[in-house]
A and B are shown apart, each in its own frame.
Chain A
Amino acid sequence: MTPEFIRLLFLERIRSFSFGRDLISSIMVLVLIVFILFYLIGIAIFLGIMLKSELGIENVPAFLNTAAIYYLLAEFMVRFFLQKTPLFDLNRYLHLPIKRSGIIHFLLGKSLISTFTLMAFILFLPITITEISAAHGPLNGAIWITTLIIFSISLHWVVLWVKDLLSRKHPAFFGLLLLPAIPFALLYYNLFNLGEYTAPFFALSLSGPFALISAIVICSLCYRTVFSDYKRNAYIDHAKKPSSFAFAGGGSGLFAGFGIPGIMAETEFKLILRHKKSRSYLIMSLLFLFYGLLLYEIPEPGEPFGLNGLHIFVGIFMMAIFFVQFGQFFLSWNSSFFDFYLTRKNGIRDMIRGKLLLLSFSCIAAFLLTLPYVYFGWQILLVHITALLYNVGIGIHIIVMISLWKPKPMDINKGAMFNYDGVGFAQFLMAIPFFIAPYLIYAPVALFFSNYAALAALSITSLIGLLFFNRLTEVSAGIVGNNRHKISSFFRRGT
Chain B
Amino acid sequence: MIHVENLVKKYGTDEVLNIEKLTIERSECFGLVGNNGAGKTTFFQLILDLVRTTSGYVKIGGEDVSDTEEWKERVGAYLDEHMLLPFLTPDEYFETLRKIYGLTQEELNSSLVRFKPLFNDEILGKKKYIRDLSKGNVKKVGIASAFLDSPAIVLLDEPFENLDPTSQNRLKKLIQEEREQKETTFLISSHDLTHVTDICNRIVLLEKGHVLKDLKDDKDAMASELSDYFNR
| A residues adjacent to B (C-beta < 8 A) | 1, 4, 8, 11-12, 15-16, 89, 91-92, 94-100, 235-237, 240-243, 493-495
Contact = CB atoms under 8 A, between A and B. Distances in A.
Contacts of B87: 11-12, 15-16
A98 B49 CA distance: 13
Interface of B: 11-12, 14, 45, 48-52, 69, 72-73, 75, 77, 79, 82-88, 92, 96-97, 99-101, 129, 131-132
Given A92-B82, A237-B11, 11 more contacts: A4-B96, A8-B96, A11-B88, A11-B92, A89-B82, A95-B50, A96-B100, A97-B72, A100-B69, A237-B45, A493-B131
Nearest to B86: A494
Contacts of A494: 86, 131
A95 B51 contact: no
A100 B68 CA distance: 10
A8 B132 contact: no
Main secondary structure of the interface of B (DSSP, over half): mixed
B100 A91 contact: no
A68 to B, nearest CB: 41
B12 A237 contact: no
B142 to A, nearest CB: 10
Which of B11, B12, B82, B100 has the most chain A CB within a 10 Å cutoff? B82
Contacts of A99: 69
A96 B72 contact: yes
Main secondary structure of the interface of A (DSSP, over half): loop
Contact of B84 (A15, A16, A92, A242): A92
Nearest to A414: B82
B73 A95 contact: no
A495 B81 CA distance: 12
A416 to B, nearest CB: 16
A4 B100 contact: yes
A95 B146 CA distance: 10
Contact of B129 (A4, A8, A15, A96): A15
A236 B96 contact: no
29 contacts: A1-B100, A4-B96, A4-B99, A12-B85, A12-B87, A91-B50, A91-B82, A92-B82, A92-B83, A94-B48, A94-B49, A95-B48, A95-B50, A95-B72, A96-B72, A96-B101, A97-B72, A98-B100, A235-B49, A235-B51, A236-B45, A237-B50, A241-B11, A241-B12, A243-B12, A493-B86, A493-B131, A494-B131, A495-B86
A97 B69 contact: yes
Contacts of A240: 11
Nearest to A237: B51
Contacts of B96: 4, 8
Contact of A242 (B12, B48, B100, B131): B12
A96 B97 contact: yes
A144 to B, nearest CB: 42
B148 to A, nearest CB: 10
A47 B35 CA distance: 70
- In the A-B complex, the 10 residue pairs with the closest CB atoms: A237-B51, A91-B82, A97-B72, A15-B87, A97-B73, A242-B12, A12-B87, A95-B77, A236-B50, A493-B131
Contacts of B51: 235-237
A495 B96 CA distance: 20
A12 B87 CA distance: 6
Contacts of B100: 1, 4, 96-98
A236 B97 CA distance: 21
A205 B72 CA distance: 47
Contacts of B12: 241-243
A494 B82 CA distance: 11
Given A8-B96, A96-B97, A237-B45, A493 B52 contact: no
A242 B72 CA distance: 30
A11 B89 CA distance: 11
A243 B14 CA distance: 12
A265 B92 CA distance: 43
Nearest to B74: A97
A396 B180 CA distance: 65
A95 B83 contact: yes
Nearest to A101: B69
A241 B52 CA distance: 13
A279 B1 CA distance: 45
Contacts of A493: 86, 131-132
Nearest to B77: A95
Given A92-B82, A92-B85, A95-B50, A242 B14 contact: yes
Contacts of B77: 95
Nearest to B66: A235
Contact of B52 (A15, A92, A237): A237
